[in-house]
Structure 1
Amino acid sequence: MSRWSLVYEGVDAERTGLREALCTLGNGVFATRGANPESRSDGEHRPGTYIAGCFDRAVSVVNGREIENEDMVNAPNWLPLTFHTGDGVWFCGPGSDERIELDMRRGLLTRSFEAGPPGRRTGVVQRRLVSMADPHLAALETTFVPRDWSGALTVRSALDGEVANTGVARYRGLASRHLVPGGTGTDTEEITWLRCATARSRIGIALAARTRVSSGPSPTHANVNARDARIGIDLSLDVIEGVPVTVEKTVALHTSRDHAIEEPLQAARTSLARAGGFDALLERHTTAWHHLWRACALDIGDEEDQRILDLHLFHLFQTLSPHTADLDAGVPARGLHGEAYRGHVFWDELFVLPFLDLRLPEISRGALRYRARRLPAARDEARACGVRGALFPWQSGSDGREESQSVHLNPRSGRWVPDRSRSQRHIGLAIGMNVWRHYQATGDLEFLCDVGAELLLEIARAFSDLAVHDKALDRYRVRGVMGPDEYHDGLPDRKEPGLDDNAYTNVLTSWLLSRALDVLRELPGARARDLCERLGLAPEEMERFETVSRRLYVPFHDGVISQFAGYGDLAELDWDGYRERYGDIRRLDRVLEAEGDTCNRYRASKQADVLMLFFLLSREEVMGRLHHMGYEVDPDLIPRTVEYYMRRTSHGSTLSSVVHSWVSARMDRRTSWRFFREALRSDIDDVQGGTTAEGVHLGAMVGTIDLLTRCATGMEVRDGVLYLDPLLPEELPELAFEVRYRGHWGVGVRIRGDRVTVSVPVSREAPITVQVRGDRAVVPPGGSWTSPPR
């Protein structure tokens, strides 16, 4: 394998789902898993095509109760292609000598294999792309070489709408069919089409396919096999031993949500008519990929780690690309790669958008506009909770209502247990932080005036109102919430769900309220006045922002920040005992529930919670924030707190390794590197045992890149200054990448040891101000500056 390739040789049935997920091809509009074209969903194979923002609802019965879930829909499968060599037995895989190569540089998946018995041996090579240049097009090219025979070859190419959401085993007992057939047909001997709609959301979907021989003998005849939801065309060919025959299948996919179309089927026909052959599509597609890599690639020197980082970037662009910027789509936690979490949008944008802010900020703006469009639903939730402003859902889908399940299945015990994750109100704090970070990185005042300020202010209002004054403490408290940990959803001696005074929530609430006041100062006077009038934001409420930000309660115990009020009273867990009995205890919650116990009784976390503060805010910001809140804390509070929770975390989320690597980067570099390696390999090695097959972990993937480009470099953007304070891992002698900063495309950053070189491309933009540790310089367009040695 080279830096740019991921290669699978042979057939490993147990890892088929993993391979399919990691070989997904997409363009931010839709993505198709790397399933073999002849395969159908059978538990081992999980073919799937997923369209950004395409959701549908269905009702299931669980334990005698009706449960409604919204899923990202498994769209009609455009891939199906198989063949037989005159014996009437259709090839259903696998072949011998199977080899699959993902070329990440070009976004091309190539498969080669041998099929058939002696006397009918056929070599097959397939190339596949989902176009990054033409976001409604995909193509599959198949070349057949008869090894030891001549005669009839029949190739069947189909569009299959008889699909369902069956890609996650624990969901298979639930309602899974979301497509209503809309008919199939042919336009010419080469062109077939299929249309359908989602069952409740009524999103129209249409596919048109062109199947033709691009090299070799023309078909002797073609037969069409059509049903309401599936259509296939059989091409019969006379082939000659040793002479290659190439069949191209080009597909256009459109939905009723697309811009600038009359209706989906006509749009699909038009896109298909404009499409050239496979090589022409590949050329345009490769150029588009070249532009993405040029803008976003980073170089670290180590080939194996470089390949995995490139893989992570590659899968970011399958889900979020420049095409996504104009869509109404958020950041799905598992990408467009599978059906885990039902394709919902959680808080993973907190780990994804900082990277995009400094490379492709238009994509970040698109993700933030997804949130802004759902402000009405968030305001409804706030009103239902008796507060002003906006409370966003922990899981979001089509319209912004809460999509979290009320119950979830513990596969270890087989029991359905209550799901209280909707109490994770901190999702709003993440959105508010993303707004502020985007503004700091881009200086985009127009975005702030348009939707950013309103989004941040409405979230701040809700958290200000959630904070209730406690006379005994003379502090404000936020009750009945969950933190990022997720293992703790209540106190063991209390029936009501939720926790009080989650430190992460309270400290970030204080931070956000201060940023809300900053936003009002950043806006032009007339815009600030108009926005306050429209929102009914009176001076008294802004005064409350300041008061609450200074008087929120933060609990402490044993010289560390408490995860929540009462955490210090919980029992210690016998970590060694549980590891000895169960081995992998990443999902400790499932282990304990199966034993009739609960994590609520123990000082045990699924993932970083308090430590998220040190991930999102610098040491100086955390200490300054606590001082702002009226707490006098000693300088060793942070290392004590980090060490305390590191010993009490099971890392049941892939995000946990990212955060732990970050917070230990400047205190324990060996530990930080170990966590980085765990995060780096979490999907490619499927460390959680089967979860990657259901969809990649997008936040963790991008988090590994962010660990190098922001954490290791100490890169921050504040008040119009690009700050760098590098401390590269000892394992990385150098690091180089580019950022888009304040109108400059391709500001180069290269770090060798403790020296930093910043290069600004030629342009008409203003010079940029850079500070490396205590040294500051103004770098003009066309210039560069290297920091002095430490």
Structure 2
Amino acid sequence: MKSVWQWSYRGYDPKHQRLRETLCTLGNGYFAVRGSVPECTSLPVHYPGLYAAGCYNRLRSTVDGRTLENEDLVNLPNWSVLRYRRRPDGSPPGDWLSPDHRSLRHSGVRLDLRAGVLTMRWLFQDGLGRRLAVTHTRFVHMGTPHLAGQRTTLRALGWSGDIEIDAELDGSVVNAGVERYRALANGHLVDLRTGVTPEDVQWLSCRTSRSRIAVGMAVRTVVAGADVRHSATATGVSTSSRVAVARGGRVTVTKILSLHTSRDRPPADPLSAALAELAATPGFDALLVTHRAAWDDLWREGEVAVPGEAGRILHLHLFHLLQSVSPHTTGLDVGVPARGLTGEAYRGHVFWDEAYVLPYLDLHFPGLARSLVLYRHRRLPRACEAARRAGHRGAMFPWQSGSDGREETQRLHLNPRSGRWLEDRSRLQRHVGSAVALDVWRYWQATGDDDFLHGPGAELMLRVAQFWSSLAEYDPSDARYHIRGVMGPDEYHDAYPGSQRPGLDDNAYTNVAAAWVLGRALDLVGALPPARRDELLGGMALAGETDRWQDLTRRLHVPFHDGVISQFAGYEQLRELDWADYRARYGDIGRLDRILEAESDSVNRYKASKQADALVLGYFFTPRELHAVFDRLGCPVDDDVWRRTVDYYRRRTSHGSTLSNLVHGWLLTRLRGADAWEYCSQALLSDVADIQGGTTAEGIHLGAMAGTLDLVQRGLTGLECTDTALRLDPVPLRQLQRLSFPVRYRGHRGIRLHVVRGRVGVEVPASQHGPLDLILPGDRRVTVEPGRERWFHLPDSPDSTGR
């Protein structure tokens, strides 16, 4: 049986190597290193990448006669390069070896999730039976954010002689990890300088061309028992050696990296900081001990324990989450990159994926969650400026964000099927502002952090509410407000068939989420201390506007058709798609929009969604919240209407996004649907099986990974943070009947929840806090005293008593 803490691959598979390199990425929230092999630096089989959080740069490119500007997360110099070749006694030197060499006989890769250590093993054998066993061990230090280490052991089996070794620090890198971007400008690094200190430390400094972020890297390379020679060029520095090895003997090469940038606080010269840190850094073994200890601390706070293969995948997902955003992130001005720090897809941008990530962090690492919401608050002036330029009030957050909060969504995108560059209208997804407000509110519910809610949280929520109020238009013909010219989460539909006007009217998710934001903003205004309330209402010129907010929460239009919620106004007039025909012809139709465009057709004409749209309402909002919003809008949605709506869109969704299976799995689990596990399992497999056929090689999908953790944490347990109690309403899922995890809730730290076959257990550690109040199914209220553990039988179980 596979360990739930190990992720491993046997055999070498060039076709899937880049996927493996993505999934074996190591990071610590400050920077990350793809799991590429040290011996190889080139496409298409391998793609080394090193990415520092928030290190963006923008370049101009000419595409289809138009000049475009794109901002990218920059691929930084490759520190891990190591080449070697054999020189047996009396023989000329052999080839430089790598896993792609014909003499490879065995290979294996193992990622130790608990320790954050990647191990790669190769065995080479030449025609005379002489073997060379190679082991690489690598980590990116979770305790000290600027450090990484790599140790390589080479063992001569059945021969003696010399081994030639060349270790490099390579600055000739570009951003080339996404094929469809390769026609665009991709050289971000300028002013490269390289050298070697008297202490034999390789160093490199450079900066990004336009953002002018300075980068300093220092690498200490030690080849045991050898003298080394250094060679510096304009783009890199190498350390060469030749080591005698006896039959059965070993040669060990260690590389320790220190990486600093000018984004660090307090500010310092990055190269000087890297060299000084490296001079004070101990050896590989000592670093490995403190690195493992740092990971132990994270697992203690955050592990979601589930047995079996699902548990192993969840450990991998949490491993990647904590490498992309860790406690080190709290000191950085960065958001949640949709692909983590594992690749260059989506250019490293921040979308709304944080809304899928923060619910987990709120309950385990609230300080980190707060920091990530503050990324949005620091960009609030830019969002307000964007709203003003568009003729609106409030804050209009960008669909894609990067360094400074401007809209980073590309103007054109390439359809690889047709080869055509097409207009990209996805910036019309204004609902990202509601996700920001939701992040604020959920964080407060979990932590009770009134200082945050009344400070930056209130500024965010009120500005988003002001934007929705400004965007909504009143139509006296139906006495309703309407939000026009937007896109929903679906992402397929960006206009009505044949219309030259971009966007759609009254997207149901957008409007309901806006109504929820307006309602919570009104609640917040009523709860603010009077002085703070007057300050905000006066400073934002909101005096008198709250009456309009009240009206909007009652009269914002939500369209319906055939007894279900309409995805947007006019959806019922679209054509039905022959799903069976397209599946028969194309197999994978996840990107149906590209298929239809290549056929000179448009997905705008059909009732077909890339991913959950109206159904996302059931993911982000509890049934009580949804019922309250719909009731106030005067269009009640009971359980029957919701079930019909879920069933309706299930049949019309291609699941072209990894988030789609997650949302469907969540909804069907809560509805006790018979095929809930089908969607849940697809969500778990999204990246590890690369179900989208190649996208994971360009970077993991962090929202989907974190969402699977939250599926266990909140979806299966019905866990809900209220102002006064934790609410629990577990639902049975045969494939996941045992689970356990710690949570933090409003000052209580280390609460542990267990769900085991019809029972729920709650442990509350001893503390100075009062009892923990719980609300169980049927609105049954119970308490658990500090230092106690209680178990409760769930409804339909033989015994409903607690102990």
Judged with a 3 Å threshold, the aligned counterparts in structure 2 of structure 1 residues 590 and 557 are, in CA distance, closer, same or farther, namely: same
Q: Specify which of 596, 599, 622 is matched with residue 600 of structure 2.
A: 596
Residue 413 (str. 1) matches residue 422 (str. 2)? no
Q: Which runs of 5+ in 2 are unaligned?
A: 88-92, 796-803
Equivalent position SS for 1:111 = strand
Q: Is the 8 A contact 1:161 1:181 kept in 2?
A: no
Per-residue CA deviations over 1:232-251 (Å, capped at 9, x if unaligned) read 11122222221222111100
Which residue of structure 2 lines up, in the alignment, with residue 43 of structure 1? Answer: 44
Q: Specify which of 360, 363, 366 is matched with residue 361 of structure 1.
A: 366
Per-residue CA deviations over 1:112-135 (Å, capped at 9, x if unaligned) read 112352365321111000000111
State the 1:189 CA deviation. Answer: 4.9
Per-residue CA deviations over 1:713-759 (Å, capped at 9, x if unaligned) read 00001122100001130222321111011122210101122322111
Q: Specify which of 424, 427, 447 is matched with residue 452 of structure 2.
A: 447
Q: Specify which of 119, 128, 133 is matched with residue 123 of structure 1.
A: 133
Per-residue CA deviations over 1:29-51 (Å, capped at 9, x if unaligned) read 00010000111121111110111
Residue 653 (str. 1) matches residue 662 (str. 2)? no
State the 1:544 CA deviation. Answer: 1.2
Distance 2:193 2:615 in 1: 54
Distance 1:134 1:17 in 2: 28
Residue identity in the other structure for 2:390: C
Q: Is the 8 A contact 1:445 1:523 kept in 2?
A: no
Which residue of structure 1 lines up, in the alignment, with residue 119 of structure 2? Answer: 110
Residue 688 (str. 1) matches residue 692 (str. 2)? yes
Per-residue CA deviations over 1:253-290 (Å, capped at 9, x if unaligned) read 00000112421001101221221111111110101111
Residue 166 (str. 1) matches residue 176 (str. 2)? yes
Residue 223 (str. 1) matches residue 209 (str. 2)? no
Which residue of structure 2 lines up, in the alignment, with residue 295 of structure 1? Answer: 301
Per-residue CA deviations over 1:473-510 (Å, capped at 9, x if unaligned) read 10000000000000000001421000000010111111
TM-score, structure 1 normalization? 0.97
Residue 759 (str. 1) matches residue 769 (str. 2)? no
Per-residue CA deviations over 1:670-722 (Å, capped at 9, x if unaligned) read 32111000000111111000000000011111111111110110000112210
Distance 1:256 1:632 in 2: 54
Which residue of structure 1 lines up, in the alignment, with residue 215 of structure 2? Answer: 205
Distance 2:384 2:216 in 1: 35
Deviates more, 1:501-510 or 1:92-101: 92-101
Distance 1:728 1:431 in 2: 31
Equivalent position SS for 1:96 = strand
Per-residue CA deviations over 1:196-228 (Å, capped at 9, x if unaligned) read 000100000111000113xx5x21x32112112
Residue 702 (str. 1) matches residue 706 (str. 2)? yes
Which residue of structure 2 lines up, in the alignment, with residue 636 of structure 1? Answer: 640
Residue identity in the other structure for 1:768: L
Residue identity in the other structure for 2:442: R
Which residue of structure 2 lines up, in the alignment, with residue 323 of structure 1? Answer: 328
Which residue of structure 1 lines up, in the alignment, with residue 798 of structure 2? Answer: none
Distance 1:45 1:6 in 2: 19
Distance 1:742 1:279 in 2: 39
> What does 1:62-77 align with in structure 2 at a 5 Å threshold?
62-77=63-78
> What does 1:744-755 align with in structure 2 at a 5 Å threshold?
744-755=748-759
Which residue of structure 1 lines up, in the alignment, with residue 190 of structure 2? Answer: 180
Distance 1:395 1:325 in 2: 21
State the 1:409 CA deviation. Answer: 0.5
Which residue of structure 1 lines up, in the alignment, with residue 391 of structure 2? Answer: 386
Q: Specify which of 251, 265, 280 is matched with residue 245 of structure 1.
A: 251
Residue 307 (str. 1) matches residue 317 (str. 2)? no
Q: Which runs of 5+ in 1 are unaligned?
A: none
> What does 1:521-670 align with in structure 2 at a 5 Å threshold?
521-538=526-543, 540-670=544-674
State the 1:517 CA deviation. Answer: 1.3
Which residue of structure 1 lines up, in the alignment, with residue 109 of structure 2? Answer: 100
Distance 1:388 1:767 in 2: 45
Count the aligned residue pairs. Answer: 784
Distance 1:654 1:711 in 2: 17
Which residue of structure 1 lines up, in the alignment, with residue 21 of structure 2? Answer: 20
Distance 1:76 1:161 in 2: 4
Equivalent position SS for 1:212 = strand
Overall identity of the aligned pairs, in %: 51
Distance 1:8 1:633 in 2: 49
Distance 1:522 1:147 in 2: 74
Deviates more, 1:659-668 or 1:56-65: 659-668
State the 1:522 CA deviation. Answer: 3.1
Distance 2:616 2:168 in 1: 48
Q: Is the 8 A contact 2:591 2:610 kept in 1?
A: yes
Per-residue CA deviations over 1:148-171 (Å, capped at 9, x if unaligned) read 222222221111110000001111
Which residue of structure 1 lines up, in the alignment, with residue 281 of structure 2? Answer: 275
TM-score, structure 2 normalization? 0.96
Q: Is the 8 A contact 2:48 2:78 kept in 1?
A: yes
Distance 1:633 1:779 in 2: 35
Deviates more, 1:678-687 or 1:516-525: 516-525
Equivalent position SS for 1:290 = helix
Residue identity in the other structure for 2:82: L
Runs of 4+ aligned residues of structure 1 deviating over 6 Å after TM superposition are none
Distance 2:85 2:267 in 1: 39
Q: Is the 8 A contact 1:43 1:167 kept in 2?
A: no
Distance 1:369 1:131 in 2: 25
Residue identity in the other structure for 1:136: H
Q: Is the 8 A contact 1:24 1:33 kept in 2?
A: yes
Residue 4 (str. 1) matches residue 5 (str. 2)? yes
State the 1:93 CA deviation. Answer: 3.3
Equivalent position SS for 2:687 = coil
Distance 1:331 1:746 in 2: 25
Distance 2:305 2:203 in 1: 44
State the 1:431 CA deviation. Answer: 0.6
Deviates more, 1:732-741 or 1:559-568: 732-741
Per-residue CA deviations over 1:612-658 (Å, capped at 9, x if unaligned) read 11111122322221110112445411001111010000000010000
